Amino acid sequence: MIFTVMVSRSNIMLRENLKQEIDKLNDSQLRKIADFINSVKAQAQQLAQSMPFWQRATPVERADNFRRWVAQLPKTSVTLSDKAFDRGNIYE
């Protein structure tokens, strides 16, 4: 808990310091910063797209994805026989 508070305060201080420094920049410097930020965003987006869905999705997103997948399966009444579910038959 203390570590989280310290990190949060550190992030707030960093953010405020960056805002102050950005306010001092001229237009040319601001364009360079904007280009850098866009580059970082593009890299993050590429990284996110290269990760498998199950690694980047939240549990809710994974559950929704699974439900959509199940819903698209053929609606047949064919199932395994009761014999197939019998524990004794598993090892035969």
Lowest mean pLDDT among 22-31, 54-63, 75-84: 75-84
Torsion 47-51-55-56 (CA) sign: positive
Stretch (H or E) spanning 86: none
The answer, yes or no, to whether residue 4 has pLDDT greater than 70, is no
Contacts of 62 (CB under 8 A, 6+ apart): 53, 54
pLDDT digits (tens, 9 = 90+) for 62-90: 999 999 999 998 888 778 888 888 888 87
pTM of the model: 0.46
Q: Give residue 73's region: left, alpha or beta (phi > 0; psi -120 to 50).
A: beta
